[in-house]
Amino acid sequence: MEHMKRVLVYRETLLPISETFIKAQTESMTRYRACYAGLLRASPSLPLDGEQALLVRKPSVLTTLRLKLYRKFGFAPAYKRLIASWGVGLVHAHFGPDGVNAMRLARFLKVPLIVTLHGYDVTTEQPFEALYGELWKEADLFLCVSDFMRRTAIERGFPDEKLKVHFIGVDTEEFRVRNRSRSKDSRKVLFVGRLSEKKCCRYLLDAMHMVQAAIPEADLTIIGDGPLRVSLEAQAQDLGVRCSFLGAQDSSTIRRHMEESALFCAPSVRGANGDSEGFGIVFLEAQAAGVPVVSFRHGGIPEAVEDGVTALLAPEGDSAALAHNILFYLQDPALARAAGLAGERRANQEFELKRQTAALEVIYDDLLRERAGRR
């Protein structure tokens, strides 16, 4: 292991439980050894393998001041010395704002900087020149999680020549259904996601009101938590929609519910501040589990699924069309199974984690070779 080249994976908060895609990508590397750095620990957080550096351990008045000083001036000698001792060859930050702070580390270490752009960091309306102007100059490469993200980044002012699309993969073997408990008569609809404006579960509740009028035994399971949970629970009660709010769950529980579900539905929309779905890893997970997908034609979702083959996409914000597509799969289990099988094939052929991570390591190789050539 010691002879392997090292990459520093930077995320300011290490590492929220919703960001399993970062952990999965990082820990599936075979030719690079990953180390993690951030400013503080997420609560709750994912368990991480390998060396880790945190600027502060526990939030307090003093550590809050230390965080502010670091963000403004980048002063943290012991933190930087620890990271330097690992001998990393490049820094890979996730999300644009994290890239701004990771820029200081890359500059200190004299190594290349890659920043993955995921969604809100580019789609949300904000002063891009003021926020990212220096990063645009110093970062060596920006990885976009979809073509949609690349087009949006160009519109926001990101340098075209530094933008490259790279799809983050999923562990298709992990989501492959081994004990197919899903009945051919299943009427279970599954939602997994943060209960926020962008994920927009309220459109799904409206649709399920129509669906249950046609198929009374249809059922909705909602996995996830967020600021809109209380209002969504009230909406479900007002509409008389039969559904279960399970809160945040671990990946094994999500896999079990996918196995039992007739279809997966997550109708993301553009938020009031512009926040949009950059890609949507959960759509890949559903396809890997052989579950047909229903959603809106929005953001990077049409790249994650294949409309009319592995999924049915409705016009953004159209609850009636969403209900129509849900009913299409529920009323024709044979077509739903065909879409599910097509989804499994698509996930394996285009988004398999090891293959996509191997492609990422080639990107690392090319960048290091280019940097060495410039020297």
C-alpha to C-alpha distance for 135 and 332, rounded to whole angstroms: 51
* Sheet (strand 32-38) strand order: 52-54, 32-38, 5-10, 90-94, 113-117, 141-144, 163-165
| pLDDT of the residue at 140 | 97
Domain ranges of the chain: 5-169+352-374, 172-350
Tell which residue, 311, 279, 321, 323, has the closest CA to residue 298. 279
Residue 181 tokens read as 């408990």
- 245, 229 in Cβ contact below 8 A? yes
Residue 270, φ and ψ in degrees, nearest 5: -75, 125
DSSP code at position 119: S
- Compute the distance between CA of residue 314 and CA of residue 320 in angstroms, rounded to an integer: 9
pLDDT given at position 1: 45
Measure CA 11 to chain center: 14
Pull the structure tokens for residue 287: 């396809």
pLDDT at 3 over 80: no
Average pLDDT, the chain: 92
Q: Is residue 79 classed as helix, strand or coil in its secondary structure?
A: helix
**Per-residue pLDDT tens digits for 163-198:** 999 999 999 998 887 655 545 568 999 999 999 999
Q: Which residues pair with 142 in a beta bridge?
A: 115, 163
Q: pLDDT tens-digit profile of 67-124?
A: 888 888 888 899 999 999 999 999 999 999 999 999 999 999 999 999 999 999 999 9
181: Cβ contacts below 8 Å, ≥ 6 apart: 259, 260
Could you confirm whether domain 5-169+352-374 is CATH 3.30.70.20? Answer: no
- Global pTM reads 0.91
| Block residue for tokens 């519109």 | 155
What would the pLDDT profile of 305-357 be if each residue is shown by its tens digit? 999 999 999 999 999 999 999 999 999 999 999 999 999 999 999 999 999 99
Taking residues 264-279, report their average pLDDT: 93
Give percent above pLDDT 70 in the chain: 97
Task: Say which CATH superfamily domain 172-350 falls into.
Answer: Glycogen Phosphorylase B; (3.40.50.2000)
Residue 315 preceded by cis peptide, ω within 30: no
Are the C-beta atoms of 116 and 139 separated by less than 8 Å? no
Q: Do domains 5-169+352-374 and 172-350 have the same CATH topology?
A: yes
